[in-house]
Amino acid sequence: MLSRLLKARATRAGAAVALVATAFAVTSGSPTQAAPQSKTLTATCSGADDASKGILAGLGNGTLALPFTITSDVPATLDPGAADQPISFTWGVSMDQATVDKAAGVSPSLTVKDMVLDIGISGPTSTTEVQGRPAPMQVALVKGQPVNIKEGPFSGKLADIGKGGIIKYTAKQVGLTISLTIADKATDIKVACAAPGTVAITSIKIPGSPDIKQPIEMEGTPNSTVSVDVLGQYVTPGADEKGTVHPIDPSSLKVIDGPGTVANGQVQVATGAAGTTSSVTFEVCSGTLPGTNAVQSLQIDPSLLLDKDGKPVLDKDGKTQTNMIKKSVGLTLKFGDDTTSVIWTVPKAIRDANPNMFQPPTNWADTYNSNMLFWIFFVPFEQPSPADIQAALEALPSIGAGGVKVTAADPAKPGLYNIEFTGKNGQKDVPNLSVGNYYSVFPQEHLNAIIDDATKLLNPPAPPEGTPTTTTTLPGGAANVDDAVAWLEQQMQDALGRLDLDAWSGYAKQWVQLKVKQGMANIDFKQVISALTSIFSTPPLIQTTVAGEPPIGMCSQGVIDVSVPAPPEPTVLPTSVVQSAPPPAGHPATYTG
């Protein structure tokens, strides 16, 4: 076919170019470079130290949801054993409006520094990561305006590319420090983020996928249809790494690109005019590789009584004891728009004996305050069983029976559960679970109110012009701020001793205000928040540990080229030819000119 094409002078130049291009394609490993593609992964970020955890608790529920948009410039496909390939990644980081609004009340700007934006690489390549270490960036905070940060591109290369499989790119390590200016002093919030999910993939022939004999080159007539029996003549079953041969699925045959269709198990290629080539890409599979179920972890505060060294206090039988004034009582979980019933962290016997006390509260702080002694002294803590959590989740319409499997994650880590999505939510990406309501002793609402007040005190609005000055009477009749602070600290300690949380909360608010007045330049906001949060139970923390992934087809692609030969060149008689006489019979005509 090729020699016939070369004989036509009109196609010689094009054929030469095609041959050169083919030579380069063979030597370069024939990568298919996809257009840069973007993927948004929602990262769950939590404090990397105790003080940062406390500040994040004041800004929300102890975590930040940061959408990372990663733009990947990577090959879509590679031939087995291809040469090294350049790759690059650009990161976009977003803070939602609600978080910006709260942060803007504390500081008019922030600095994002110590950023770690690493892409992990797995699969048939010796390259394992592309690191991103951008320089610090200052960002203005304006209420009502979300913040978007773009960093990169960060470049690397795929080296030692293998003979088959999928190269997968994921967010390997994500961390940053958010530095806020509070009371003219930089306050660092260190966060570590988990952003599971696939950013992009590069496909190499998957072991076990069909083997396709290439090239497939044929000839056709102009503007017609050529039937190609690819399954019978060009495709054979492939073997995986273990030597297992996987049968071809004829029903999977389809056309990916080009002027073709599938009919009666064959690829029908529509040809063009004379001198043209029709190229069709087809795909055929040998089944699928299983997908991955999404797994999320749930950590419930174990509510243990700890000694001064932070170790659990044991009773005479060697069992851990509950911290009666710092414990979980119950929680609800949200999945999409659905919310579970209350998952109580109280023994069933106590709940059965006091059914009226264990109705879903509309306002937990009021419910607690109205029966404070009951909740403190008569309600022991008990971790819910995995079955209790699973039943609550399966009752949601969006999950249903068999839609989730809950297990204890680690016996050495009480209160830690693995929640695996199965059934209709298995082998795919699913929304993150979140905490709907959290009921605790002491109520978390008191801590949130104190942190809100502290935020306002650190950045008070300027009084209207002409406002008269007022004389402030210090608490306890103190003569100065230092004495008033000491008096309030004693009152806070006494209030805790008699379990009067309302009184403690009132004193704490005054104490924070006077600490601000006592020395704005010397106040350690992180230390203050850390001290306050240490009195309260830690809210439940939910993180995605394994991202759900759909099944991957064990598929191979092939290309069919159907060429329509150019018409033969016509013979043109020169205009000066004169025929002198008819030739004798049986002799050719002779022309002169």
> Do residues 96 and 144 make contact, with C-beta atoms less than 8 angstroms apart?
no
Q: What is the pLDDT of residue 505?
A: 82
Per-residue DSSP letters for 38-65? EEEEEEEEEESSHHHHHHHHHHSSSEEE
Q: Which residue ranges make up each domain of the chain?
A: 1-30, 31-204, 207-289+553-563, 295-442+538-546, 446-459+477-533
**Highest mean pLDDT: which of 416-430, 538-552, 573-587?**
416-430
For residues 553-575, average pLDDT? 73
Report whether 191 contacts 95 (CB < 8 A): no
List phi, psi (to 5°) of 248: -75, 140
Yes or no: say if 294 and 429 are a contact pair by the CB < 8 Å rule. Answer: yes
Residue, of 455 and 553, whose pLDDT is higher: 553
Give the tokens for residue 150. Answer: 């773009």
pLDDT surpasses 60 at 63? yes
Residue whose tokens read 């044991």: 314
Which range scores top for mean pLDDT: 15-29, 387-401, 495-509, 528-542? 387-401
Distance, in Å, from the CA atom of 80 to the CA atom of 211, rounded to the nearest integer, reads: 13
Distances (CA, A) of 335 to 197, 301, 434: 18, 21, 7
- pTM (2 decimals)? 0.64
- 460-500: pLDDT as tens digits: 666 677 666 666 678 888 888 888 888 988 998 888 788 78
What's the pLDDT score for residue 474? 83
pLDDT digit string, tens, across residues 240-260: 888 999 999 999 999 988 999
Classify the C-alpha dihedral 19-21-26-32 as positive or negative.
negative
Q: What is the DSSP string of 399-439?
A: T-TTSEEEEES-TTSTTEEEEEE-GGGSSS--PPPEEEEEE
DSSP letter at 531 equals H
Question: According to the model, what pLDDT value does residue 59 have?
Answer: 59
Query: Per CATH, which fold does 207-289+553-563 belong to?
Result: Immunoglobulin-like (2.60.40)
pLDDT 10s digits, 418-438:
999 999 999 999 999 999 999
Which phi-psi region, left, alpha or beta, contains residue 114 (left: φ > 0; alpha: ψ -120 to 50)?
Answer: left
What is the residue type of 261?
T
* 31-204 under CATH 3.30.1360, yes or no: no
Do 207-289+553-563 and 31-204 fall under one CATH topology? yes
pLDDT tens digits, residue range 349-382?
Answer: 999 999 988 988 888 888 887 888 788 888 888 8
